[in-house]
Structure 1
């Protein structure tokens, strides 16, 4: 690769008449070109011998003296859109070089194949970050390096190394291994697994799927709607001790510290192992389709012709189950994704990076970096869930274990030798729901419906237990009992309050947010919201660090991205440099999101009718949905179940379900569920 670069016919002969030229005499631009060609196949390692040739080449090509070169290599080899969205353009521009070295070390560690390396946790964190930033390049590099086989071997050989009473530990390395295994799962790999390999993997991850009493499914207990919690022991809810630990789970405030892009260290919480395990489990179960019983009617019309009017599936209904995968695999992004974005060439950098495929992981990433302590206000508003994501038809499955078998399992902290789906009597039930989203906008005099108390004997998806609702055209009317207390505090009266401020989300209709009417926009004086406007100390430190980096490190120029120079000058290197330390978004004016829906008539005839209603928790984007049998508007709440979970990767709902009564007591009847939206 070097030869073409060194064959310069136009190079003048030296004074001695020789046409030879030393590498040290080449201009820096040519040396950078040589280094770029050398790094074309395996990134950094081949460059080291060139750097060690002499002191001149080391100084010319080292990352410390030539960050410009490594920044160019980073943009050429890795995806940058997610970093720009999450950390701000100027922040990442000045640290691309350091990030390039970090990513290269991780790629080399994966190539080594050493799953017992002392640095495997760091490698997993870097690979996980790269996959949440993937726009086509990152995943290709990691898969070429052998990441799918690397994590597969780790899960099969090391998942139970630090077991507790036989149960696999939920620690950083195990959680990341399960997430990487899911993120690198593909249809080709699923089909290549032998039945024995598939069974082994399901057996290994099964505790994370079926034991919510040991492995939490939420970042904060679902019984809380308003977070953060008061940092006061007398007001902090207490868990109930069980043989398997305290329940519900209040996760330790011990986030990992990652060195990403900017000089300040990034706190990030451990991703939930149970979420990844459920996706792995259902994806393997879906390799083989559900058997279509031959005795079933062919279609619903055929059933009616036979006089069968009761609820039950037809062969057509079972075929529909098989036609749609509920654990949708993460499809590799197209490296040339920009070619499919209309008007991309005319967009500024801020707008264009929002169109990148990696944007689907922003809510998941924000959730981990922002919601790792229950006692601190999140710095990201309404960025853990994208409004409108849940509207539409969803299909899924829920696992229904035997209550008696669970009861026996809770009596001992040890993992039984026969722990399996069969020993717990696990059955699968189909789920269908069509949801609509209603918003409470930040407009005078709107206020959201108050949340129900966490210590109520029943859980009603964060609504007051007396809540009733009615849909009228494009409005949602909610009524509930409200307790009024006199100023003296002696008299209390109960009356019915009614909220009719929830407006239906219609993506094809006019916008619901107007800056001139939004109280938040008026209070700020702008519609732009900075992600990390935490406090003055952070901003002052950010400004100081940016000044130092700008003085010490030349920023990559227009060769990286010709559109960077087309940005507004005020957004590039302006006097208010603290703004450049923050990614920005526009206010959406939404104070509360309420979900309402039901089972479609066609699916209700096959899988029973249900009504759904719930809310989205602003703190972390947790979704709670009441699932009430029948289509009656106000059945008894204790006949219902509650679905709780997160929208993963913008496409799959994953969580646990349980009965609604006594929400703070240990789990007695709970199971996993996964759903994805039908096209």
Structure 2
């Protein structure tokens, strides 16, 4: 009598696949019933990885891993399939579908490992991962987790929520799973509760890190460990350092806020152990905050002129101020507008109909992946692991954490303003040496929080390998001071910097400290200007030489893997191309119509190569308006579309807390794009 064992192994694999995957959505079904039909079938499936490879690629996204890190084998996918199934089962059992809204605290796995797994699923998602997370109620679970667990341990810090990896991952997952539908169906009470919980992360930049390294630095990693500080009283061990030698103690901790090199996590990802740092809790909190505040439009003042023409007719042509039309436009810049083409805080992307993989989705998260892998330590560049993830990320360092051309265009959004209150001790973080507890009634009203619209039209300019790079604004008399203050108050440029377009219109001339530097406008295509520093010279480019060396290693590894087809990589993905770009600067202004409504400004800034942080100085065009001072905006591009960070006044010492607040902007789609 024929038996299952008489079938070809491909047929056995196919049967096992359909047992495990009756549908695409939801947990893979257990193979145990099929395994119990025959001992030999069980032994075969235990030894084989092919069917698990097929199950994984049917249920989950995987393209991003090959693109960013390493080529996946069947064994890698089998390991990750088991871990994802365990993670999704954990969520399914705790999402409260039985009506129990209290988050149960009976863990059979460590919750931080679950959060890392879900976070990786979000970063790697091209459509399928989100479907599985939705099927098990991951959004409902993380919503409960944030509302019930965000303040775990706060009793030990005076009521302030902790800046730890669990909270950071929870808020990032909460953001990644957010949609317009979920925001719009959230009750006002729930929305206000969430804002209240995350408000300290949003509004207290002198307590919580707003960047992977403080914005007073431009050239990183820091090298101060190589110098003799024996005469300094504040000796801090290098490996546990959480402050610069010139940081000042405050009731909220050392300032500027440095992330400790000890906050490096070792996580298993597709059977490979990788080292990475935690994402910034403050960035996720800002996105969650602004996305909820943008549900509400600015109020309309119907006494204003309807448009600029009416303002001129009323004799207000030279008056700076909004019309009804300007307020209406600003109200379009909320959550990307009705069609996603406007500004504001744009929500994470999903597959068009949530039915298939769209490889471009996860590309928007590549920069974040590289930041987590490479920006673990502001004092050294010596993570030291020698795996393929590290080699590939190291090769791409610099322009992999910032996508060239992404800033060019019109940006619109809002900034939150904190109105200082003389009776509010929170506004003076250096008033004494005693720790400050979270004030009772800490809220937007307590802080005097309001918002204002922000418009920027920006353009990127680049210097290619071989060209001269504009120096920073550092001017300290010794290395330690030079390293600590590198010109943040002038967007990392020397104070005498000046900009002028080149005669050919393809670049910009920058004069600083008596020298001239020429940068090419970045337009995404090959530069036709064959002048040193203004085009990508592949013959002399160090990055190109590094890439070719790694490509040879990859080809040799692929050839060895072909011998065993089952463990061959899913895809042989080439390394990212070398751009040759060594420095990126930004210039810009407000469009005339936006300036007439909200004041005219000019902008210039730089992209910090180490982590892709963007720093932009805003200067009022009108001398009368300059009395208000310049503002420095710094932050990161998130999901490839939101520019999120903090602003601060520039006339204060960069090493001290100053008047500051959060902002979020996104690019406006113009023309037929």
Deviation at 1:390, TM superposition (A): 0.3
Whether 1:395 aligns to 2:412 is yes
Q: Distance in 2 between matches of 1:303 and 1:130?
A: 52
CA 1:43–1:120: 2 relative to 1, 3 Å: same
Q: Distance in 1 between matches of 2:191 and 2:440?
A: 19
Whether 1:281 aligns to 2:265 is no
1:513-539 per-residue CA deviation (whole Å, 9 max, x = no partner) reads: 999974565255946727989xx9xx8
Q: Summarize the alignment of residues 195-344 of structure 1 with structure 2, pairs less than 5 Å apart.
A: 195-230=188-223, 231-232=225-226, 234=228, 237-253=245-261, 254-261=263-270, 263=272, 265-309=273-317, 310-325=319-334, 326-334=344-352
Q: Distance in 2 between matches of 1:413 and 1:531?
A: 54
- What residue is the counterpart of 1:465 in the other structure? 495
Whether 1:476 aligns to 2:533 is no
- Give the secondary-structure state (helix, strand or coil) at the position aligned to 2:632: strand
Q: Which moved more, 1:297-306 or 1:509-518?
A: 509-518
Does the 8 A contact of 1:242 with 1:666 survive in 2? no
- What residue is the counterpart of 1:650 in the other structure? 640
Deviation at 1:622, TM superposition (A): 0.3
Q: Distance in 2 between matches of 1:201 and 1:333?
A: 27
Q: Distance in 2 between matches of 1:266 and 1:361?
A: 18
- Give the secondary-structure state (helix, strand or coil) at the position aligned to 2:579: coil
CA 1:225–1:407: 2 relative to 1, 3 Å: farther
CA 1:440–1:458: 2 relative to 1, 3 Å: closer
- What residue is the counterpart of 1:356 in the other structure? 360
Deviation at 1:468, TM superposition (A): 2.0
- Residues paired across the two proteins, number: 597
Deviation at 1:502, TM superposition (A): 0.8
Q: Distance in 2 between matches of 1:532 and 1:252?
A: 31
- What residue is the counterpart of 1:489 in the other structure? none
Q: Distance in 2 between matches of 1:50 and 1:316?
A: 66
- What residue is the counterpart of 2:111 in the other structure? 120
Selected match of 1:46 from 11, 15, 30: 30
Deviation at 1:44, TM superposition (A): 4.0
Does the 8 A contact of 1:256 with 1:268 survive in 2? yes
- What residue is the counterpart of 1:103 in the other structure? 84
Q: Distance in 2 between matches of 1:126 and 1:165?
A: 31
Does the 8 A contact of 1:531 with 1:584 survive in 2? no
Does the 8 A contact of 1:337 with 1:357 survive in 2? no
Selected match of 1:382 from 375, 399, 402: 399
Does the 8 A contact of 1:648 with 1:654 survive in 2? yes
Normalised TM-score (structure 2)? 0.82
Whether 1:555 aligns to 2:567 is yes
Q: Which moved more, 1:74-83 or 1:623-632?
A: 623-632
Q: Distance in 2 between matches of 1:618 and 1:642?
A: 18
Selected match of 2:460 from 421, 432, 437: 437
- Give the secondary-structure state (helix, strand or coil) at the position aligned to 2:643: strand
Q: Distance in 2 between matches of 1:597 and 1:165?
A: 43
Does the 8 A contact of 1:255 with 1:268 survive in 2? yes
Does the 8 A contact of 2:602 with 2:620 survive in 1? yes
Whether 1:136 aligns to 2:127 is yes
Q: Which moved more, 1:603-612 or 1:356-365?
A: 356-365
Q: Distance in 2 between matches of 1:76 and 1:515?
A: 49
- Give the secondary-structure state (helix, strand or coil) at the position aligned to 1:368: helix
CA 1:403–1:530: 2 relative to 1, 3 Å: farther
Deviation at 1:614, TM superposition (A): 0.1
CA 1:271–1:172: 2 relative to 1, 3 Å: same
1:597-631 per-residue CA deviation (whole Å, 9 max, x = no partner) reads: 00111000111111100000111000000011116
Q: Which has the larger Rg?
A: 1
Does the 8 A contact of 1:106 with 1:123 survive in 2? yes
- Give the secondary-structure state (helix, strand or coil) at the position aligned to 1:140: helix
- What residue is the counterpart of 1:81 in the other structure? 63
Unaligned runs of 5+ in 2: 96-102, 230-243, 335-343, 382-392, 475-483
1:130-156 per-residue CA deviation (whole Å, 9 max, x = no partner) reads: 111111111111111111101000011
1:427-483 per-residue CA deviation (whole Å, 9 max, x = no partner) reads: 21110010011111224xx211011114378621111122222223332121222xx
Q: Which moved more, 1:378-387 or 1:21-30?
A: 21-30
Does the 8 A contact of 1:299 with 1:314 survive in 2? yes
Does the 8 A contact of 1:459 with 1:660 survive in 2? yes
- Give the secondary-structure state (helix, strand or coil) at the position aligned to 2:447: coil
Deviation at 1:277, TM superposition (A): 0.5
Q: Distance in 2 between matches of 1:375 and 1:250?
A: 10
Q: Distance in 1 between matches of 2:413 and 2:84?
A: 37
CA 1:532–1:462: 2 relative to 1, 3 Å: farther
Instruction: Give the root-mean-square deviation of aligned CA atoms.
Output: 3.2
Whether 1:616 aligns to 2:624 is no
Q: Which moved more, 1:181-190 or 1:250-259?
A: 250-259
- What residue is the counterpart of 2:236 in the other structure? none
- Give the secondary-structure state (helix, strand or coil) at the position aligned to 1:394: strand
CA 1:337–1:468: 2 relative to 1, 3 Å: farther
Whether 1:448 aligns to 2:469 is yes
Q: Distance in 1 between matches of 2:667 and 2:530?
A: 26
Q: Distance in 2 between matches of 1:514 and 1:36?
A: 58
